[in-house]
Structure 1
Amino acid sequence: MTKPKLNQLEMLVAVADEGSFGGAAAALDCTQSRVSHGIGELENTLGQRLLHRSRSGCTPTDAGHRVLATARQILRLAASLGDAAREDAAVAGHLRLACFRSVSTHLLPSALAALEADHPGLRVDVDDGFEERDALAQALRDGRADVAIVQLPAGAGLRTRDYVADSYVLVAPGSLALRAPLSWEQLDGLPYIQLDCAGALGVAARCREAGFAAPPARTLATDSSIAALAARGLGYSILPRLAVHPLPDGVQTMPLPIPARRQFAIAAMPATAREPAARALIRYLANPALQRQSEAYRKGLLE
């Protein structure tokens, strides 16, 4: 089946807007006979008369009105294709991306490598020294970061796009005999080590509501230090799964007795999120195909 051509749709819209073939020809900078021929071909293709023709001008038929509405949409979409191509070609500049260390280690490499290959004029500096989720959102509000991978809820005033999620798990010495499903009683007598950040403290509070009663024997600021202590049999903790991957020798993980999930989102201030460079970075970060290239995805650490 023959399909309508874009230039025929342009002619139909021009005739409807100008009210005559002559006016359409002037608007399109072509001859009147070319417009007349194009409209005739379009009517033959669709099998419908689209215009009432008279000495005073042209007006759309009922079918013409219906076709015009769709034609205008098609022409707008066609124009947007060119805009999108030009935007990607022009992506360049410098962006600052803020995130947790575990995100930087396990999720960013594939996305940043693809972005750099496609847009060599765009440089992304990564600051992965954040330990608190509120600090990431504040870095965006203060202008110290352009884009951040935050933990939800991120607070008001940010434009967010869902990213990946992981779970909090029990991190314990590998020598400890644990049985699934885990019960808090299996941990009796072993020191509990608390990670000192809002997310881990919140999960610990939820666990206490579900019967977990051990007081912290130690409180540390970094998950890697806690994992090292667990490897030496000096205690157990509740940590995000990504934060302890790859597992050190002598450490095991188990699902908690209650579900505890950490949902990430890609965030930016609304004005920044509309800029071509930021839009490109967000698009590459959110690309599922690039996420699947990560070892964390292949090992089932992400949800």
Structure 2
Amino acid sequence: MAELAPQELRVLVAVADSGGFSAAAAALGLTQSAVSHSVRGIEGKVGTVLFERGRAGARPTPAGERAVAHARRILRMYEVLAAEARGAARGTVAGPLRIAAFRSAALHLLPPALERLTVRHPDITPEVRVVRELGAGTAGEVAAGRADLGIATLGGSAEVPAGLLSGVVVEEPYALVHPAGHPDPRSLPLVDWDENCGSYTRDWWRGQDWIPRATVKAEDDGMVLAMVERGLGMAIMPALSLNGATDAVQIEDLGPGRPTRSVGYVTTREQAGSRAVQALIRELRAQREPVAGRLGEGAAG
């Protein structure tokens, strides 16, 4: 197969990201006919159709999704090559570092690690995006080439995509959370959110006949905590989500059989060799995020 040039990879990514040849042409400063011709040439080299064309624009076929993901990752490595070469010449670790993280990790796990990272390596510029841990989640962002490293929940119902590397950073326990001073918190409705759905939690829940079916659904763990603070229900939440909990809630240990959640990093094999990603992984591993400070105030009963 004839090799694809960097500009052809940029065309692939632009068409996928913009959803059409005209928008991709505008983004790249090319004509629509030039983009269309380039895509046909790329498909000829690859030997398969990469985009479905229609009145609504162009969207990647399954083969196109794979091709675009590889294109993003290859283009990213060109950037890493230049950043690491410049850093090596100056004796520093340099360049942008794209991170995808779910909400509670972005709020409570990443900041201290990034603070230490940027003190040690001021030429690294982290870019953090919050991604819901549903469907492909943060690992999917890494696989698609949109992030260099993802902070993900590991060991649950979703498998880490093939070809990615992962490692656990912290094991966090779940706890019962309810309005402080409530005489019978287990009589309250359960407040839950969609991301709180790992098999490690559900398996435990199925064996607890005291837990009611979720009667209140919230957008995310922050909203769950706010609703519990206002006395609208009780919840079962992981420790990261409980950082910042006020005195309006009481946090109870669920005992030795309590469920836990593994939080770690996911990256590609090529990014695992980059100095910026290696430096962030070291900082993540160096910390052990404490569980919520008031965990264990009450007995699970």
Give TM-score scaled by structure 1 length: 0.60
Instruction: Identify the match of residue 120 of structure 2 among 118, 121, 130.
Output: 118
Q: What residue is the counterpart of 2:110 in the other structure? A: 108
Unaligned stretches of 5+ residues in structure 2: 1-86, 296-301
1:133 deviation in Å?
7.4
Contact 1:162–1:264 at 8 Å: present in 2 too? yes
Q: Would the alpha carbon gap of residues 277 and 87 (structure 1) be closer, same or farther in structure 2, given more than 3 Å must change?
A: farther
Give the share of equivalent positions with the same residue, in percent.
31
Partner of 2:67: none
* Distance change >3 Å, CA 194–CA 117, structure 1 → 2: closer
Q: Contact 2:165 / 2:268 at 8 angstroms: preserved in 1?
A: yes
Q: After superposition, where does 1:1-303 map in structure 2 within 5 Å? A: 89-132=91-134, 134-153=136-155, 154-155=159-160, 156-177=162-183, 187-188=186-187, 190-199=188-197, 203-256=201-254, 258-287=257-286, 291=287, 296=290, 299=293
1:181 match: none
Write the letter of the residue equivalent to 1:166: E
Q: How many residues align?
A: 204
Q: In the superposition, relative to structure 1, how do residues 140 and 201 fare at CA in structure 2: closer, same or farther (>3 Å)? A: same
1:197-234 Cα distance to aligned partner (Å, 9 max, x none): 25367624531223245122111121121222212221
- Return the offset for 1:165: 1.6
Higher Cα Rg: structure 1 or 2? 1
Q: Is the 8 A contact 1:133 1:198 kept in 2?
A: no
In structure 2, C-alpha distance between the alignment counterparts of 1:88 and 1:148, rounded to whole Å: 28
SS of residue in 1 equivalent to 2:169: strand
Partner Cα distance (1:164, 1:92) in 2: 27
The answer (yes or no) to whether the contact 1:174–1:250 under 8 Å persists in 2 is yes
Q: Deviations over 1:112-151 (max 9, x none)?
A: 1222122222111111343437411101101111011111
Cα RMSD (Å) of the superposition? 2.8
Distance 1:224 1:110, change over 3 A: closer
